[in-house]
């Protein structure tokens, strides 16, 4: 029987000796490689935190001592040791284990986070709550890493944590940058300052980089930044930075050495005040493909061969790739274009632009707020910034979008990858909020391409807009096949023309293909549906009001929050134009949607051709209750497609 088979709770770890822990670490890595290769998920980060997670659970007593993961994708090992091994057979699948901490799964999961740099604020609040309630025997542990310390919110939290010397709070910095090799041989158990390590100069570089990329928050950091009087080494050393803030610093230590880890974690626990434990780990440890290939590739993987790490499913051309290629083409012609990313150069497709134009590409780290306001500054100088970010992460920078870019009418283009329903990564990663959020920004222009050709076309138009922000949004996955229009009227593409003027169906972006299929099905039921794509969905073309007046009913189909995005925008436009009428909305319900495959979720919320057709037919029968209902499962048999040229 393997040691892993005997682990059902953190208490089971405490009886193991270090040799057994080493064997368990090997078993966990094999387990992760096997399971995550089948399901997809965040492989690299979890391979790097095996020993660190085991040590934390041995020293602290979860859930009495809450363990909070920043960038919660590094919580797989935590899930394993808290009794969820069996769930990995359905990792990130319907009714299976979530890819992030989940309160519904276990009392050991505290924060359901996937957006970085938030854990320290959570930890600060929980630790202060314990203090006020007199629960002095409880310690809060926050595990931060994968670039979380480049986010300004983390430093706001640190500045406040430092004001309370008696907060029982241990901050474990999981430093897994591949450019930093763990120090070997110099990690004695009494290591408390960097001067005792052989890798001192590397750690000095690490500290200097943190300082250079970190927002200045509070008097403590100000003093650190002006600490040249202490000598260069004290100025750039990490412990100087944190201890100037008033937080005890321990490390750096080898994050794969149980003796060092447990020794320093025990010291931190006894200190009874805020402590930072700095551990150096190796991302992708124990998996040769993850170590030999680019680190970013194995941060998160799809279904791959467990031996080689190569994808098993053939991959088509993605929306991201189309954007990446077109941006380079535009960059060749328009020298004012610059690109900005928040630590996601590869996932957003900016890596190729960065290789072609390194001096015009800026990676600001996990700092979407800074990226947005910096883009406004770049626009002020006459450049045209393109900020590429996942739709879900634009939520973090809404204030900056509204007041730094929007208010100042800065010519900045935001490219929102992974808009709409994304699937596997769960409620925090769906890109269903952007259409509602951007709709309240004065002067913004939002485009939703339905296929690759429209993405190229609309991106070229967006980078010519210099009197305010522009947005291009597209979904996750393979780009849709080209869907040509019968005609273009005043910027509006007519995609399907019904025989009668029953329903005008306004399709937003990638929903256009579904709209045409639904119109075809509705035609067989005697309902004439005309499908149009306005291309620019905010502001909507004025001619759309005139067009809508010719139809009995008007419906907006979008992969954003139902009734809150384009449908609401059009209803306001109609009212302002003197046409008070109801605009029917088909979209995503306003609720947090759990992880499942994208297709499963779309079926659940009624975003299938059959479900949409059913609602369109219900309009003609004036059965509005039927229109408002959702079909919860994909129809097993669909009617044959009708004549699109009617």
Written as six digits, the tokens of 151 are 């986010």
* DSSP one-letter code for 536: E
Q: Which of 368, 517, 553, 558 is catalytic?
A: 368
Q: Please give the model's pTM, rounded to 2 decimal places.
A: 0.76
Q: What is the pLDDT of residue 604?
A: 85
Q: Nearest CA to 396 among 148, 99, 100, 123?
A: 148
How buried is 322 (Cβ within 10 angstroms: 0-12 exposed, 13-18 middle, 19+ buried)? buried
Q: What is the pLDDT of residue 594?
A: 82
Give the pLDDT band of residue 627 (cuts 50, 70, 90): low
Q: Which one has a higher pLDDT value, 633 or 117? A: 117
Residue 272 phi/psi, 5-degree rounding, is: 60, 40
Q: What is the pLDDT of residue 203?
A: 46
Residue 51 phi/psi, 5-degree rounding, is: -65, -40
Q: Which of 12-26, 34-48, 450-464 shows the lowest per-residue confidence on average (mean pLDDT)?
A: 34-48
The strand pairing partners of 363, in sequence order, are: 341
Q: What angle do CA 448, 449, 450 make, to 5 degrees?
A: 115
Q: Is the Cβ–Cβ distance between 146 and 116 less than 8 Å?
A: yes
Q: Which one has a higher pLDDT value, 72 or 222? A: 72
Q: What is the pLDDT of residue 189?
A: 34
Distance CA 244, CA 238 (A): 10
Distance CA 87, CA 271 (A): 37
Query: Does pLDDT of 640 surpass 50?
Result: no
Per cent of the chain over pLDDT 70 is 80
Conformation bin of residue 75: beta by default, left when phi > 0, alpha when psi is -120 to 50: alpha
Q: Which residues contact 219 (CB under 8 A, 6 or more apart)?
A: none
Q: Which one has a higher pLDDT value, 179 or 474? A: 474
**Residues belonging to the chain:** 646
Mean pLDDT value of segment 248-253: 90
Q: Which of 151-160, 382-391, 506-515 shows the lowest per-residue confidence on average (mean pLDDT)?
A: 151-160
Mean pLDDT value of segment 306-310: 50
- Could you count the other beta carbons within 10 Å of the beta carbon of residue 132? 8
Which range has highest mean pLDDT (201-205, 212-216, 495-499)?
495-499
Q: Nearest CA to 361 among 382, 383, 393?
A: 383
Query: Does pLDDT of 344 surpass 50?
Result: yes
Q: Which of 283, 418, 450, 620 is catalytic?
A: 283
* DSSP one-letter code for 311: B
Q: Is 334 a catalytic residue?
A: no
The rounded mean pLDDT for the chain is: 82
Mean pLDDT value of segment 363-374: 91
Q: Which residues contact 269 (CB under 8 A, 6 or more apart)?
A: 59, 60, 139, 170
Q: Is the Cβ–Cβ distance between 105 and 80 less than 8 Å?
A: no
Q: What is the pLDDT of residue 198?
A: 36
Distance CA 146, CA 233 (A): 25
Q: Is 269 a catalytic residue?
A: no
Q: What is the pLDDT of residue 598?
A: 85
Which residue's entry shows tokens 């328009």? Answer: 334
Q: Which of 159-168, 337-346, 396-405 shows the lowest per-residue confidence on average (mean pLDDT)?
A: 159-168
Mean pLDDT value of segment 193-213: 45
Q: Which of 396, 476, 564, 620 is catalytic?
A: 396
Distance CA 409, CA 403 (A): 9
Written as six digits, the tokens of 386 are 């393109």
Q: What is the pLDDT of residue 64?
A: 96
Which range has highest mean pLDDT (90-104, 290-304, 629-643)?
90-104
Residue-by-residue DSSP string for 240-269: HHHHHHT-EEEEEEETT-HHHHHHHHHHHH
pLDDT digits (tens, 9 = 90+) for 567-588: 999 999 888 888 877 899 999 9
Give the pLDDT band of residue 40 (cuts 50, 70, 90): confident
Q: How far does Cα 127 stand from its chain's mean position?
A: 27
Distance CA 234, CA 228 (A): 8
Distance CA 329, CA 460 (A): 10
Domains of the chain, earliest start first: 4-289 (3.40.50.970), 319-475 (3.40.50.970), 495-628 (3.40.50.920)
Q: What is the pLDDT of residue 434?
A: 94
Mean pLDDT value of segment 542-556: 92
Q: Is the Cβ–Cβ distance between 596 and 620 less than 8 Å?
A: no
Mean pLDDT value of segment 90-114: 84
Q: What is the pLDDT of residue 199?
A: 42
Distance CA 258, CA 55 (A): 7
Q: Is 597 a catalytic residue?
A: no
Q: Is the Cβ–Cβ distance between 467 and 410 less than 8 Å?
A: no
Written as six digits, the tokens of 331 are 């960059």
Q: Which residues contact 187 (CB under 8 A, 6 or more apart)?
A: 197, 253, 254, 257, 260
Q: What is the pLDDT of residue 235?
A: 41
């Amino acid at each position: 029987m393997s040691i892993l088979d005997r682990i059902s709770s953190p208490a089971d770890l405490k009886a193991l000796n270090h040799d057994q822990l080493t064997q368990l670490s090997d078993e966990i890595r094999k387990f992760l490689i096997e399971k995550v290769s089948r399901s997809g998920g965040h492989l690299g980060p979890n391979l790097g935190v095996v020993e660190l997670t085991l040590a934390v659970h041995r020293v602290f007593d979860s859930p009495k001592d809450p363990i909070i993961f920043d960038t919660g994708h590094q919580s797989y090992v935590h899930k394993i040791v808290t009794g969820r091994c069996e769930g990995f057979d359905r990792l990130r699948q319907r009714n299976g284990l979530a890819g992030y901490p989940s309160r519904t799964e276990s009392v050991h999961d505290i924060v359901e986070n996937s957006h970085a740099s938030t854990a320290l604020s959570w930890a600060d609040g929980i630790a202060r709550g314990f203090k006020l309630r007199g629960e002095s025997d409880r310690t809060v542990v926050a595990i931060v890493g994968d670039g979380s310390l480049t986010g300004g919110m983390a430093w706001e939290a640190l500045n406040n944590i430092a004001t309370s010397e008696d907060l029982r709070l241990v901050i474990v910095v999981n430093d897994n940058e591949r450019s930093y090799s763990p120090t070997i041989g110099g990690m004695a158990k009494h290591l408390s300052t960097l001067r005792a390590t052989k890798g001192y100069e590397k750690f000095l570089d690490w500290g200097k980089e943190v300082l250079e990329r970190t927002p200045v928050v509070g008097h403590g950091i100000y003093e650190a930044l002006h600490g040249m009087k202490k000598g260069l080494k004290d100025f750039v050393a990490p412990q100087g930075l944190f201890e100037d803030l008033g937080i005890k610093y321990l490390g750096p230590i080898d994050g794969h050495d149980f003796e060092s880890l447990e020794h320093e974690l025990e010291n931190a626990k006894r200190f009874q005040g805020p402590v930072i434990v700095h551990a150096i780990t190796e991302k992708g440890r124990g998996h040769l493909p993850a170590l030999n290939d680019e680190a970013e590739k194995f941060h998160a993987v799809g279904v791959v061969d467990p031996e080689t790490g190569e994808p098993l499913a053939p991959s088509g051309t993605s929306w991201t790739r189309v954007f990446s290629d077109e941006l380079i083409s535009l960059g060749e012609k328009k020298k004012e274009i610059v690109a900005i990313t928040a630590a996601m150069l590869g996932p957003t497709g900016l890596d190729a632009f960065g290789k072609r134009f390194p001096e015009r590409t800026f990676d600001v780290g996990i700092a979407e707020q800074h990226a947005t306001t910096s883009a406004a500054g770049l626009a002020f100088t006459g450049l045209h910034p393109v900020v590429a970010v996942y739709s879900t992460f634009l939520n973090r920078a809404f204030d900056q979008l509204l007041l730094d870019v929007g208010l100042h009418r800065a010519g900045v283009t935001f490219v929102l990858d992974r808009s709409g329903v994304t699937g596997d990564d769960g409620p925090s990663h769906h890109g269903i909020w952007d259409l509602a959020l951007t709709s309240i920004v004065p002067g913004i222009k939002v485009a939703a391409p339905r296929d690759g050709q429209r993405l190229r076309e609309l991106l070229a138009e967006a980078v010519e807009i210099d009197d305010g922000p522009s947005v291009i949004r597209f979904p996750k996955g393979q780009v849709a096949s080209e869907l040509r229009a019968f005609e273009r009227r005043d910027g509006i593409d007519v995609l399907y023309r019904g025989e009668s003027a029953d329903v005008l169906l306004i399709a937003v972006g990638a929903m256009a293909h579904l709209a045409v299929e639904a119109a075809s099905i509705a035609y067989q039921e005697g309902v004439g549906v005309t499908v149009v794509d306005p291309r620019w969905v905010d502001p909507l073309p004025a001619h759309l009001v005139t067009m809508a007046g010719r139809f009995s009913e008007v419906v907006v189909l979008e992969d954003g929050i139902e009734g809150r995005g384009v449908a609401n925008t059009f209803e306001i436009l109609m009212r302002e134009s003197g046409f008070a009428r109801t605009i029917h909305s088909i979209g995503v319900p306003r609720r947090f949607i759990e992880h499942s495959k994208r297709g499963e979720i779309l079926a659940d919320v009624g975003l299938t051709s059959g479900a949409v057709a059913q609602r369109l037919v219900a309009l003609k029968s004036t059965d509005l209750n039927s229109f408002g209902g959702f079909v919860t499962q994909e129809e097993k048999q669909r009617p044959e497609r009708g004549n699109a040229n009617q």
